Amino acid sequence: MSITPDQNKNRRVVKIAVIVCVASFLFGFRVMPPIYRIACEHIFGIKYENKVADGAKVAAFKEDDARLVEVQFVGNVNSALKWKFAPELFSVKVHPGVLTEAWFDASNLAPDAIVGNAVPSIAPNRASLYFNKTECFCFTEQMLKAGESRRMPVRFVVDPKLPADIKQLTLSYTFYNNELATKRLAAQEASTQPKS
């Protein structure tokens, strides 16, 4: 069967439609996640990345003695994780620009070692761009052996440029079971124990 002009036209439509489909698949899969991050950070002013604050930026902060901001702490544990986790102090009053340290206590109530990850959140969310952590247990995986307890520090500086109407902010952490890392750990222990 020879190709009639009609079939050529159909092929063109199919080609264009398939390109649209592939493009929209990639859009959902590869473009929307980064757009989401960009929209969060640059349009709505919500800090998306959980990373160490830039040291030079923090060092340049001037202490604002005239102003006191209350920072409250909340510790939550996801239902799939058998841990206890709570802040030592429920709130502190800090001067913006001053490096402050706060401690959280975590203990593993399960009979096995578990790796957990803490996910931080700042409320109100427009304050999140002004909250800088120089050190935090939430930057890394936390492994607790069965029954082990640990004090975990977070060191932070509130940016003096924090909007004046924000007088109180809440730093909350939720600990999740990092199932992959926990499994890896269990596998490692299983392979090392017979030797010892």
Partner 1 sequence: MANTAAHADDHAHDDHDHKPEGFLDRWLFTTNHKDIGTLYLIFAFTMACIGAAMSVVIRAELAAPGLQHVQPYFFNQMTTLHALVMIFGAVMPAFVGLANWMIPLQIGAPDMALPRMNNWSFWIMPFAFLMLLGTLFMPGGGPAGGWTMYPPLALQGGASVAFMVFAVHMMGISSIMGAINIIATILNLRAPGVDLLKMPLFTWTWLITAFLLIAVMPVLAGAVTMLLTDKFFGTSFFNAAGGGDPVMFQHIFWFFGHPEVYIMILPAFGIVSEIIPTFSRKPLFGYQAMVYAVASIAFLSFIVWAHHMFTVGMPLGGELFFMYSTMLIAIPTGVKVFNWVSTMWKGSMTFETPMLWAIGFVILFTIGGFSGLMLAIVPADFQYHDTYFVVAHFHYVLVTGAIFSIIAAIYYWWPKWTGRMVNETWGKFHFWWTMVFVNLTFFPQHFLGLAGMPRRIPDYNVAFADWNLVSSIGAFGMFLTPFMMIAIFAMSKKSGAIAPQRPWEGAHGLEWEVPSPAPHHTFTTPPVIKPGMLAHGDVSH
For residue 51, which amino acid is it?
K
Quote the Cα angle for 138-141-146, to 5°.
115
Q: What's the Cα-to-Cα distance from 128 to each of 17, 50, 87, 134, rounded to whole Å? A: 43, 11, 19, 14
Residue 34 CB, nearest approach to partner 1 (Å): 11
33 binds partner 1 (CB under 8 A): yes
| DSSP SS3 for 16 | helix
Binding residue for partner 1, selected from 1, 47, 98, 117, defined by CB under 8 A = 117
Residue 181 CB, nearest approach to partner 1 (Å): 9
Matching residue, tokens 């202490």: 63
52 binds partner 1 (CB under 8 A): no
The 133-162 site mask, x for binding partner 1 (CB under 8 A), equals ------------------------------
Residue 128 CB, nearest approach to partner 1 (Å): 11
Nearer to partner 1 among residue 26 and residue 89 (C-beta): 26
- For 126, the token pair is 């427009």
Q: Give the C-alpha separation, 103 to 83, whole Å.
A: 16
Binding residue for partner 1, selected from 55, 179, 187, 188, defined by CB under 8 A = 179
